[in-house]
A and B are shown apart, each in its own frame.
Chain A
Amino acid sequence: QVQLQESGPGLVRPSETLSLTCTVSGGSVSSGSHYWNWIRQPPGKRLEWIGYIYQTGDSNVNPSLKNRVTMSVDGSTNHFSLRLTSVTAADTAIYYCARQRKSGWFEGIDIWGQGTVVTVSP
């Protein structure tokens, strides 16, 4: 059974960089049938797709965050990561890592981590 687990600091200072890691167990980030996503949910707001990365390192990032986001994937340690620079209070949210299936075309986001709360505050 595939499980995802986010890890990283719960508090980040404004203007600093948020770094999160998602560890995959029971499966492999090198799977050719899956894309590895980051999604966040600010308090009281809708879910926001941040972007995804594929095993090859190819990624797609929400244009609203593109200049601040870097994603990476590491097959040797079976994890993928998110870096978000120059954070502000607007980046306060629950951050989820999640797996999306693709078999010819994209299917749903079928496996989610439990989420990690990140607060941006001085």
Chain B
Amino acid sequence: DIHVTQFPSSLSASVGDRVTITCRASQSIHSWLAWYQQKPGKAPKLLIYQASTLESGVPSRFSGSGSGTEFTLTISSLQPDDFATYHCQHYNSYPWTFGQGTKVEIK
């Protein structure tokens, strides 16, 4: 199985901050990576797929980059609605696996 590791596991930030979350795969997954946002008690919401393609309706302050084994999710200016847990997921080969999540908290 391809293992996916996210870091940091949590971070504290203020509204307006630039936030970067990293996802590292145990072997190349090309660009087959998605990012999700999850709020407490809710299902995940798709933000980005194929490493850098923004899902329709997702604010442009979210962006994704990377290929191979290293990927980043960037929030250019953190908004109050962005405090949540973020998950990456690879879909390069079976089984698809998720990172352990990064919780973004209010500083």
Q: Give the B-binding residues of A (Cβ under 8 A).
A: 46-49, 60, 62-64, 96, 98, 105-110, 112-115
Q: Which residue of A lies closest to B47 (CB)?
A: A108
**Known A-B contacts A46-B100, A60-B94, A64-B95; A113 and B43 likewise in contact (beta carbons under 8 Å):** yes
Most buried by A among B50, B96, B101: B96
Contact yes or no, B43 A115, CB < 8 A: yes
> Whole-angstrom distance from the CB of B45 to the nearest CB of chain A?
8
Considering only CB atoms and an 8 Å cut-off, how many residues of chain B contact the other chain? 25
List the B side residues contacting A98 at CB < 8 Å: 43
Contact yes or no, B91 A96, CB < 8 A: no
Contact yes or no, A62 B95, CB < 8 A: yes
Name the prevailing secondary structure of the B interface residues: loop
Contact yes or no, A46 B96, CB < 8 A: no
Contact yes or no, A48 B98, CB < 8 A: yes
List the A side residues contacting B96 at CB < 8 Å: 49
Contact yes or no, A108 B95, CB < 8 A: no
Specify which of B1, B46, B98 is in contact with A110 (CB 8 Å cutoff).
B46
List the A side residues contacting B42 at CB < 8 Å: 114
Q: Which residue of A lies closest to B94 (CB)?
A: A60
List the A side residues contacting B43 at CB < 8 Å: 96, 98, 112-115
Given contacts A96-B43, A109-B36, 12 further A-B contacts (CB under 8 A): A46-B101, A47-B98, A63-B1, A105-B50, A106-B32, A107-B50, A107-B53, A108-B36, A109-B46, A112-B43, A113-B43, A115-B43
List the B side residues contacting A47 at CB < 8 Å: 44, 87, 89, 98, 101
**Known A-B contacts A107-B50, A110-B55, A115-B43; A46 and B98 likewise in contact (beta carbons under 8 Å):** yes
> Whole-angstrom distance from the CB of B81 to the nearest CB of chain A?
18
> Whole-angstrom distance from the CB of B67 to the nearest CB of chain A?
15
Q: Which residue of B lies closest to A113 (CB)?
A: B43
> Whole-angstrom distance from the CB of A33 to the nearest CB of chain B?
14
Contact yes or no, B89 A106, CB < 8 A: no
